[in-house]
Amino acid sequence: MAEEIVFRRLLNFLEEDIPFWDTTTGILIPERAVVKAHVVAKQSCVVACVDDVVHFLEKLGLQVTQFIKDGDVVEKGATLLEVVGSAKTILAVERLILNVLMHCSGIATEVRRLVELIRRVNGRIRIAATRKTLPGLRYFEKKAVAIGGGDTHRLSLTDAILIKDNHIKIIGSIEEAARAARKKASFMHKVEIEVSTIEEAVKAAESGVDIIMLDNMKPEEVATVVEELKKRGLRKEVAIEVSGGITPDNILDYAKLDIDIISCGYITLSSRAIDMSLEVVEVIEK
C-alpha cells in the first residue's frame, strides 16, 4: 500500500513535467527504441530514496539493476542503477528521478555528517528535522533524514502536541495550554511546549509536559535553563529540545550541553543536492 502511494506521488510529479507530451523526444526518438542507461553519482554521498525510485521505474515497465541501497555511502563515479527499456520512458523520467535522488541524498549526507560530528562530544543527542519541508516532498525529505541517521520529528500535525507561542497567545498562558493538552490528549501523544525564556521553561517543566523546546536561545542561555531546571529538581522530568538558528557552525556549542534533541530546519531546506547524472551507455534497438 505504501509503495503504491509513493508511486502515485512520483507519477504526479512526472505529470507536472509532461502535462501533454515530451516534444523533443517525441520528434527524435522512435517508439521501438530501447536503451541501457546508468545513474551515476558525481560526488561521494549517502544515497537516499533509491528504493522508491527503483519501484517507480519498475512500475513503468523498465528493468532495473540496483547496485546500492538506501543508506549506503558511495564514492564519486559510482553507478547506482542500471536501467534498461523504452528510450522514450527513460528520457521522460530522467530529470524527475535525478531530482529526487540528488535532493534526498543531499539531505541524508548532511544529516549523517552532523550525526557523526556531534557523536564525538555527546552520543546521547538526537539530530531531528522539523516541519520545514517543501510541499509534496515531506515523505521523501523526512525519509532522507531517517536514512542519514537523524530523527524525523513530527511527520505531520497529527503526530504529537507541540504548543507554540501563537497557541499560548490565544489560550492565555503556558499553564492553561499544558493543562488542556494533558487533559484531552490521547495516551499515545506526547506534549511539548516551545519556550524562549528561563521563566517560561520553568513554568513548562512544572506543568508536567514531556518535552520543552528552547527556541532561538544561545548556547549560554540554554546552559542557564538547564542549570535552573536541575536546581529545581525538574531536569530529569522533561526532555530538552533546542531549535532555531542552529547551523553547522554552532551546532557543537549546543551538543556539549545537557540536552536531548537538536532540531534543524536547514537540513531539509538548505542541504546541498548531490550531483548525479543519467547516462545512456548502450543503444540496444533503434
Query: Would you say domain 2-108+272-285 falls under CATH 3.90.1170.20?
Result: yes
Q: What is d(CA 105, CA 71) in angstroms, rounded to the nearest whole number?
A: 9
190 is catalytic: no
* Candidates 132, 164, 190, 256; catalytic one: 132
Average of pLDDT values for 99-103?
Answer: 98
- Span 102-145, pLDDT tens digits: 999 999 999 999 999 999 999 999 999 999 999 999 999 999 99
3-state secondary structure of 179: helix
Which stretches of 87-150 are assigned E, i.e. beta strand? 126-128
Cell of 7: 508511486
Q: What is d(CA 264, CA 132) in angstroms, rounded to the nearest whole number?
A: 9
Q: What is d(CA 192, CA 16) in angstroms, rounded to the nearest whole number?
A: 38
CATH ID of 115-269, from 3.20.20.70, 3.50.50.60, 3.40.630.40, 1.10.10.60: 3.20.20.70
- pLDDT category of residue 2 using cuts at 50, 70 and 90: confident
- The residue extents of the domains of the chain are 2-108+272-285, 115-269
Average of pLDDT values for 15-32?
Answer: 94
pTM reported for the whole predicted model: 0.95
pLDDT of res. 286: 87
Q: How far, in Å, are 13, 20, 52, 54 from residue 58 at the CA level? A: 17, 22, 10, 6
Task: Evaluate whether 150 touches 111 at the Cβ level (below 8 Å).
Answer: yes
